[in-house]
Chains A and B, each alone.
Chain A
Amino acid sequence: MINPELIVTAILNGLSIAMTLALVALGMGLIFGLMHVPNFAQGNFFALGAYVTFSIVVLTGNFWLAIPIGALCVALTGLLFEPVLLRRMYGRPLPEILVVMFGVLLITFDAIEVIWGSVGLPVNPPSVLAGSVSLAVAEYPAYRLFQIVFAGVVCVMFYVFLKKTTLGLLIRAGAQDRGMIQALGIDINKIFLAGFCIGIGLAGVGGAITAPFTQVFPLMGNDIIIKIFVVVVLGGIGSFRGTLLATFILGLASAFSALIWPPLSEIIIFFIMGFILIVRPGGILGEGEEV
């Protein structure tokens, strides 16, 4: 088992899982940090990104186009939900918001099936990425390397956006003190709208790059939202560092436990969560939060 090929493969598998989770979890964190709305339906926006990618690939045959268009389409659906639904919910007690978001989850789930049907749909990676890459000790599928790199780049772009751009600054300020922003004469509703669209857009990107790897099927949203819940509990929902740390831990744990005993890999994340809850209830990084 101390086989360098297996170890390297496991590390890369773990990173690939982690980076995809990170995209979706960061999006969820943005929406929650800004508007205090836990987006239950984040998984289905992830799925939507994958489905739109499928359609773009079928229409144009070009995968590289599909990623930005897919993300954009998902972000645009935010225009449907935020003004119509979410805006009415700000200020309501959290449980009611949760129930509404659950309703959104059910609706987005069926909406996807209405448009694309219930059968799993195939998406092929572009031929340049279809083969495997020879690393020093192992051969590894090229597409997974692409996943890691691309998702990593998007995470960095997101970080830069938050820290360096005006809109990012407004979002961070809006998360910290809504009233102050409004007092300065800025329309908080536009900030919220932008935040929501970016948040689900991130999930859409995650879905778009996952599509060639896992096929596109209606339940893919459900699959990922469970993992996101664990990420949130471990890393905190508004914390950039916490989210990344949590996804790395979960991704690597999952990949390495698959080496030792495969049935463990799916449930190890719950063991970790249970352990952290008992030992360190404040989450991995403790109580402090930062966007």
Chain B
Amino acid sequence: MSEEKKVSRRKWIKYAGAGVVLAAAAGAGYYVTQQRPTVPTSTKGPPVKIGVMMGLTGPYSGNCKKMLDGANLATKQVNEAGGVLDRPLESYVRDDELNPGVAVRRATELIETVKIEALFGTLGTHIVHALNDYMKKIGKMYFACCIPVVLTKKKDTRSPYTYFMLPSSAAISRSGGEYCSTLAKKWYLMYPDYSGGVEFFSYFKERLEEKGGEVIGTDAAPLGATDFSPFITRALAAKPEGLAWCGQLGTDLQNALKQSQGFKVTEKMYVFSGNNTLTDSMAAGLDAIKNVYTFMDFYWKLPREPTEKYVQAYLAEYGEYPDTYSIGTYTAIRAWADAVNKAGTTDTEAVKKVIDQMTFDWCKGPQYFRWDGQCMQDLFFVKGKTPEAVLKGRKTEEVPAEERFDIFEFIKEIKSEVAEPTAKEEGYE
């Protein structure tokens, strides 16, 4: 009996020991594998490390890959210009799978193991919330490169080191509503049925009605719906002067525009699209965006020098025109690198003092950070050209890239100060 007891105790110690060894080995292995930089180190001095994270797999992987492209181009250009504080800039890329738990887990690893100075990227309000909370406790800078919602920007939520690169949903919708009120009076509004879509819709409606417009009907299409025919039918039956897709993005928007074209909506009324990207517009196709008025926060054919430089560099690097999603990460990394160089240190407080006072212009016009971390910038309205104007009698394949991307007619630019939420709305007063 005691023999058995001795044997089982020995086994117990053996297995417990094996467990500890396994845990230690796993930890060591993990630590070693995490030290992989994406840029080879040079010998000038210890590199300055930044983290780049977004949903490279998952529903928005297309957009996130564009964000990564912008980030990689920025890192490359910073290094070509001499680096940060005369040291090479190294970016460490992580996939957050559009999952906040994974995002925090991998951000923890980037901060604690890799020791990054700042985090760039991320798409998705839930990710921004989760990371904003975490980065607040850590005290490092975080540049969120997607459309922020008002909740994240409120004074008691936002970390003082979190910056928002793209215009907020309020800015996009309000400017859209205001512009639509100048086009026509009676509007039918469509939006995707989820909290972000509702937010787009309510800001749009509010500003449209404020400026004298009238909303004669609304419809909430399910998020990710592929079939907009029933909604378009209802909209047509209400006989508005204009149809506005306030909040549809991505594939939803492509489908909506294409199917509207099937119902010949643009011939009957004004059509407004609340937020387009290059990818969406090219995917929807020339026929679908013909005569559609649309909001863009970046138009690749702007006749401005920084835009042209950026487009040329992007074309040279990737062989295609830059998508809207690439400019958030690009601008953030370049602005941060600039600020660090001016501050002379990577210390967060020192860099913050510099970056809060900076005006920069990397790709679309002058931009600066406001008191709530929002990047203030120019916003644009464009109108889809008719295919004939672009193709000029040739087949699509015969048209050179320069002209093939010339699908919009530039109409108007406004400053985001007009449309961003006020200090009162965000709890700063």
**Distance between A163 CB and nearest chain B CB, rounded to angstroms:** 32
Say if the beta carbon of B412 comes within 8 Å of chain A: no
CA of A124 to CA of B287, assembled, Å: 10
Which of the segments B225-233, B297-305, B309-317, B399-407 contacts the partner chain? Answer: B225-233
Q: Are B283 and A122 in contact (CB under 8 A)?
A: yes
CA of A127 to CA of B401, assembled, Å: 24
Of B220, B226, B284, B287, which one neighbours A263 at CB under 8 angstroms?
Answer: B220
Of B225, B234, B262, which one neighbours A132 at CB under 8 angstroms?
Answer: B262
Point out the residues of chain A lying under 8 angstroms from B258, CB to CB.
122, 215
Which A107-146 residues have a C-beta within 8 angstroms of B? 113, 117-122, 124, 130-132, 138-139, 141-144
Say if the beta carbon of A289 comes within 8 Å of chain B: no
Point out the residues of chain A lying under 8 angstroms from B259, CB to CB.
141, 213
Q: With A215-B251, A215-B254 given, is the CB distance from A124 to B62 under 8 Å?
A: no
Q: Are B227 and A262 in contact (CB under 8 A)?
A: no
Say if the beta carbon of A13 comes within 8 Å of chain B: yes
Which B232-273 residues have a C-beta within 8 angstroms of A? 233-234, 237, 250-251, 254-255, 258-259, 262-264
Q: Are A130 and B262 in contact (CB under 8 A)?
A: yes
Say if the beta carbon of B426 comes within 8 Å of chain A: no
Point out the residues of chain B lying under 8 angstroms from A100, CB to CB.
none
Q: Are B263 and A214 in contact (CB under 8 A)?
A: no
Say if the beta carbon of A265 comes within 8 Å of chain B: yes
Interface residue tally of chain A, by bracket? 35 or more
Q: Are A139 and B263 in contact (CB under 8 A)?
A: yes
CB closest residue in chain A, given B66: A119
Say if the beta carbon of A153 comes within 8 Å of chain B: no
CB closest residue in chain A, given B286: A124
Q: Are B62 and A262 in contact (CB under 8 A)?
A: no
- How many A-B residue pairs have C-beta atoms within 8 angstroms? Tell me: 93
Q: With A122-B283, A131-B262 given, is the CB distance from A263 to B234 under 8 Å?
A: no
Q: Which of B221, B229, B284 has the most CB of A within 10 A?
A: B229
Query: Looking at chain B's contact residues, is the secondary structure mostly helix, strand, loop, or mixed?
Result: helix
CA of A191 to CA of B176, assembled, Å: 59
Point out the residues of chain A lying under 8 angstroms from B59, CB to CB.
219
Point out the residues of chain B lying under 8 angstroms from A86, CB to CB.
none
CA of A124 to CA of B396, assembled, Å: 13
**Distance between B307 CB and nearest chain A CB, rounded to angstroms:** 22
Report A262-291 CB contacts with B as 1/0, cut-off 8 Å. Answer: 110110000000000000000000000000
Q: Are B230 and A10 in contact (CB under 8 A)?
A: yes
Q: Are A118 and B61 in contact (CB under 8 A)?
A: yes
Say if the beta carbon of B106 comes within 8 Å of chain A: no
Say if the beta carbon of A177 comes within 8 Å of chain B: no
**Distance between A79 CB and nearest chain B CB, rounded to angstroms:** 28
Of A13, A119, A215, A217, which one neighbours B229 at CB under 8 angstroms?
Answer: A13
CB closest residue in chain A, given B64: A118
Closest 4 CB pairs of A and B: A119-B62, A141-B262, A258-B230, A214-B226
Would you mind naming 13 contact pairs between A and B with Cβ atoms under 8 Å apart?
Answer: A6-B233, A9-B229, A120-B283, A122-B258, A122-B284, A141-B262, A215-B254, A220-B226, A258-B231, A259-B230, A262-B220, A262-B230, A265-B230
Please give 9 more A-B residue pairs, beta carbons under 8 A apart, in addition to A113-B61, A213-B226, A214-B226.
A5-B237, A6-B237, A119-B279, A122-B283, A122-B285, A124-B287, A130-B287, A132-B262, A266-B225
B interface list, Cβ under 8 A from A? 59, 61-62, 65, 193, 219-222, 224-227, 229-231, 233-234, 237, 250-251, 254-255, 258-259, 262-264, 279-280, 282-285, 287
